[in-house]
Amino acid sequence: MKAFATEVSLVADGDFKLYQVKWVDSHGKERETVARGHNMQSALSTVIRQKTADKIKSVPLFAWILIYFLVMSGFTYSILYATVPIVALLLGFAGLLGTAYSFVQRYFRYTE
């Protein structure tokens, strides 16, 4: 089952409107969230992004540290011991793309 909104009401008006959103998650549990945005669509998108952010925050810190050390170890190994540092180039390119994607998502979040 997909998550869906059952009721949305405007709480505060201004540059960023504040909405009270009542919605049902994918497990059938009713939830109530306060979301802000330029319009109702951006507020509902904020609710969806918050679900994703909560999933990422639920990953333990040691897992992020382990992933960081594995990536850095692979990067260092490819630079020191590889004749053609293709892994270093790929990791650098992936980091650059990730940074650019993150910048675009943050900068254009509330623009129409």
Kindly give the confidence (pLDDT) of every residue in the chain, 112 residues in length, as a single tens digit, with 9 standing for 90 and above: 777 778 888 888 877 888 888 888 778 888 888 888 888 888 888 787 777 777 877 888 888 899 888 888 877 877 778 777 777 778 778 888 888 888 877 776 655 4
How many whole angstroms separate alpha carbon 52 and alpha carbon 36? 16
Q: What is the pLDDT of residue 111?
A: 53
How many whole angstroms separate alpha carbon 44 and alpha carbon 37? 8
> Under a CB-based contact definition with an 8 Å cutoff, are residues 53 and 33 in contact?
no
Q: How many CB atoms lie under 10 A from the CB of residue 3? A: 15
